[in-house]
Amino acid sequence: MSVRPRANGRRIIFAFAMALAAFLLVIGAVTLLFFTQTNSGESSTPGSATQTQTTPGATLSPTLKPTATPNLTATAQFIAAATATAHAHATATAIAHITATAQAQASATAGVIQTATSGKPAYQDPLNNATNAGTMAAQWDSNTQCAFQSDGYHVTEGVNFVDFHGCREAGKPYQNATISVDMKINSGHSGGLFFRVNADLLNRYAGYLFEVDSKGNYKISIMSYTTVTALPGHDWTLSPSLKQGTKTSNTLLVIMHGNTFLFYANGTFLTQATDITYTTEGTIAFLATTSDTPADIVYSNLKVYPQP
C-alpha cells in the first residue's frame, strides 16, 4: 500500500491553515486601523471648537465674561428726579431772594419816604379852595383850564390842535424838596407833576416832568419850552404800583436833591434819574394831555417838604 496520498493531504491542510491565519491577520489589521482613525478624529474635534487660531507670537485674548446691563430706565428716572429737585431748590432760592429783595426794597422805600416827609410841610394845600390863604400865596393859574373845585384842582384840555396843557403856581419856588400829590384821571390820556419849572413870557415851561397815563405807565421827561424829551432809560414804563383806569387816584411823590431825583407811586419806589440840566430852584405845575377825548385831570392833597 502507498503513503504519498496521505502526505499530500497533510500539505493541503497545512496550506489551508496558513491561508486562514493570513486572512485573520489582515482582517485584524484592517479593524485596528479603522478604530484608530475613528478615535483620533473624535479627539481632535472638541479641541478645534474651543481653541482660537492665533498667529505666531500672539497671546490669546482673555475670555470675556458677560456683565450685567445697567437699568437705563431707572438711571433716567434718577437723573430726572435729581434734576427736578435741583430745579425746585433753585426756584425756591430764587423766590426767597426775590421776596427778601422786595421786602428790603419795601422797607427801604418806607424808610426813605418817612425820612423825606418827617418834617413840617413848607406848603400844604388840599387844592379845593381858590381863596385859601396858602393857595393864594402860591399864585396858581386860575382860568377855564385851571380851576379849583370841591374835589381838587382841575387841569383840562380839549381835543384841538394842542393836546397838552399845564397849570402852574408862580409864588413858591423849590430847589431841593419832596413833593407829594394825589392825581386822578377823569378823562384824557395822561397827567403829571412838573418840578423845577421856570416859564418864559409865553408861559412855556422849562423843567422836569413826572408823567402817568391811565394804563399804569409812567415816564420821566425833561422839558425845554417847546419840546418834551424822555430822559435816557425813562420812557414809558408799565408799573404794577400804578392803578389803572379813569376815576382812580394815584399818589405821586418825587424827591429832588441836587441832580438826583427819586420817583414813587402809592408808596412804592419806581425809578431814579440823574440830570444836570436844571439845578436851580423852580416852581410846581400840573399836566393834562389828551388824544381822542377831552382831558380832565384832578389834583389834590399837595404837600411839599423842604430838603437840605
Q: Which three cell numbers stand for residue 29?
A: 489589521
pLDDT band, residue 159 (cuts 50/70/90): confident
Residue 224 banded pLDDT, cuts 50, 70, 90: very high
Above pLDDT 90, what percent of the chain?
A: 58
Would the pLDDT of 120 be above 90? Answer: yes
For residue 112, being part of any structural domain is answered with no
3-state secondary structure of 82: helix
Q: Are 177 and 304 in contact (CB under 8 A)?
A: yes
Q: 294: domain CATH number?
A: 2.60.120.560
- 88: in domain: no
pLDDT of residue 3: 42
Establish if 72 belongs to a structural domain: no
Q: Answer yes or no: is 8 within a domain.
A: no
Over range 107-128, report the average pLDDT. Answer: 89
pLDDT band per the 50, 70, 90 thresholds, residue 1: very low
Q: What is the mean pLDDT of the chain?
A: 81
Which position has the higher pLDDT, 292 or 238?
A: 238
Q: What is the pLDDT of residue 207?
A: 98
Domain of residue 262 covers 123-306
68 versus 264: which is more confidently predicted? Answer: 264
Q: pLDDT of 262-292, one tens digit each?
A: 999 999 999 999 999 999 999 999 999 998 8
What are the tens digits of pLDDT across the range 74-89?
Answer: 666 766 776 777 666 6
Q: How many domains does the chain have?
A: 1
pTM: 0.67
Cα 109 from Cα 96, distance rounded (Å): 19
Q: Has residue 113 been placed in a domain?
A: no
pLDDT at residue 36, rounded to an integer = 52
Residue 132: DSSP 8-state: -
Looking at the predicted structure, is the pLDDT value of residue 99 above 70? no
Contacts of 139 (CB under 8 A, 6+ apart): 169, 170, 171, 172
**Residue 127 domain flag:** yes
Query: For residue 56, is pLDDT > 50?
Result: no
Beta strand 205-213 pairing with 237-238: unpaired
What is the rounded CA–CA span in Å between residue 217 and residue 236? 6
Task: Look at 269 and 107; give whichever has higher pLDDT.
Answer: 269
